[in-house]
Structure 1
Amino acid sequence: MMPEPPFSSPLPELPEPKRRRWLQWLVAAQVLFVLGVAAAGYATAALGRTLWLSTQPVDPRDLLYGDYLNLRYQINELPGQLWRGSSPPRRQQAAYVLLAPAADGTHAATAIYPERPATQGSQVVLRGSVQAVWRRGVRLRYGLERYYVPETMSRQLRQRRAMRVQISVAPWGQARIIKLDTTARQ
């Protein structure tokens, strides 16, 4: 008979049926999470209102993911006077941007709220987060700032000209890019 090592203590083992059930719940939770993320994307496209935003592309390249465009929207940096909160905005705070149709067919920001505002007519609310605050402005992020493109398209877009992006905004504020309009000029 061999002596046990001095610092080893046997770990209690779960009975086989409980271990198997626990593993099944863990796998089911992961599958449900992935399906939920996919369903949220499809729900945003199916239930959301579509609108156009003006943007300016930046063309970086990621060795792991390929070509993508960093998009700078006109609604990414807004004047501080559009803030409608009782206290100044803080970094990482949720922000709800009220968008209204502009004369050029895109939507433009009319106000920024710390909580979801009511809309009227053709107004849309886009949820974002405050990234930076300075004396006269606010920088916001919406999760729409990166768009992966085929390599042939990124070569065409290296000119960094103004374009329009069509997005779908779900009733709960989540947004998704639907397509790029590279023929738009400003």
Structure 2
Amino acid sequence: MSEPTTPIPAAAGAPVATPSVRPSHTLPEPRRRRWLWGLVVAQVLFVLAVAGAGYATERLGTTITLRTAPADPRDLRFHDYLELRYLISELPGHLWKGSAVPRRKAPVYVVLEQRQGVYEAVAVYPEQPAIGPGQTILRGWVQETWRRSMRLRYGLERYYLPEEARRQLRRPQPLQVTVSIAPWGQARISQVQVLPALPR
């Protein structure tokens, strides 16, 4: 019959060995590698989807021309883009076709009609309306409302100006902006031209 063994105490100051335990939150190496690859693929697909949506908007969308208020070139001293304010950004209240007063940040649908080569707003609806020949719809959002007017945003207010156009913009000048509107409602700027400064 064997005698019971007595554990040998560790010498003073000697490190005590502890069994290595893998943290429960760490993924095994194969799964971790697959997860990283999945993340990379998702990012690539997102970039391709954004580029594809932009290309489809250019190819399939309706092209309209809008005018802006004079853009100040001093904006370019601090960043390489302009903040655009369109002539259809501030509209009179009589164009509103809703039954209730428009609320801030609410989506609206602006009916545009071509007049002398430039599209102008002829009506603003709270829901997408039917339109007639020669008209198109640009979706916007209410930024501010007053008693007799409203200010809208369209998601087209920031434009990164190419170097050639920067050289042309010497003083506050109006711009002519070509916008493509996709059948599903997405809009994007296709081209910006600097117009002669308005006479003072």
Same fold (TM over 0.5): yes
Matches within 5 A, 1:93-104: 93-102=106-115, 104=116
Give the match for residue 84 of structure 2. 71
Letter in 1 for 2:182: A
1:110 deviation in Å? 0.8
Q: State the shift of 1:97 in Å.
A: 0.6
| Matches of 1:30 and 1:13, distance apart in 2 | 23
DSSP 3-state at the match of 2:169: helix
In structure 2, the residue matched to 1:61 is: 76
Q: Is the aligned partner of 1:148 residue 2:145?
A: no
* Separation in 1, partners of 2:130, 2:188: 21
Cα gap change, 1:172 to 1:184, in 2 (>3 Å): farther
Superposed, which structure 2 residues align to 1:2-151 within 5 Å?
A: 2=16, 10-56=23-69, 57-59=71-73, 60-61=75-76, 63=78, 65-66=79-80, 68-102=81-115, 104-151=116-163
In 2, the alpha carbon distance for the partners of 1:78 and 1:96 equals 13
Whether 1:169 aligns to 2:181 is: yes
Q: Deviations over 1:120-143 (max 9, x none)?
A: 211111111111112111111112
* Higher radius of gyration, 1 or 2: 2
SS of 2:59's partner is helix
* RMSD of aligned residue pairs (Cα, Å): 2.3
Unaligned runs of 5+ in 2: 1-14
Which is strand-richer, 1 or 2? Answer: 1
TM-score by length of 2: 0.78
For residues 32-69 of structure 1, what are the alpha-carbon distances to aligned partners after superposition, in whole Å with 9 as ceiling and x for unaligned?
11111111111111111111111122320264x52x22
Query: Any idea what the Cα deviations from partners look like across 1:66-102, whole Å, max 9, x if unmatched?
Result: 2x22222110011122122232211211111110111
| TM-score, scaled relative to structure 1 | 0.84
The share of aligned pairs that are identical, in percent, is: 53
* Displaced runs of 4 or more, over 6 A: none
Provide the C-alpha distance between the structure 1 equivalents of 2:105 and 2:17, rounded to a whole number of angstroms.
58
Amino acid at match of 2:184: W
| Corresponding residue for residue 10 of structure 2 | none
1:3 positional shift: 7.7
Helix, strand or coil: the match of 1:176?
A: strand
Matched position secondary structure for 1:158: coil
Whether the aligned pair in 2 keeps the contact of 1:163 and 1:185 (CA below 8 Å) is: no
SS in 2 for 1:159: coil
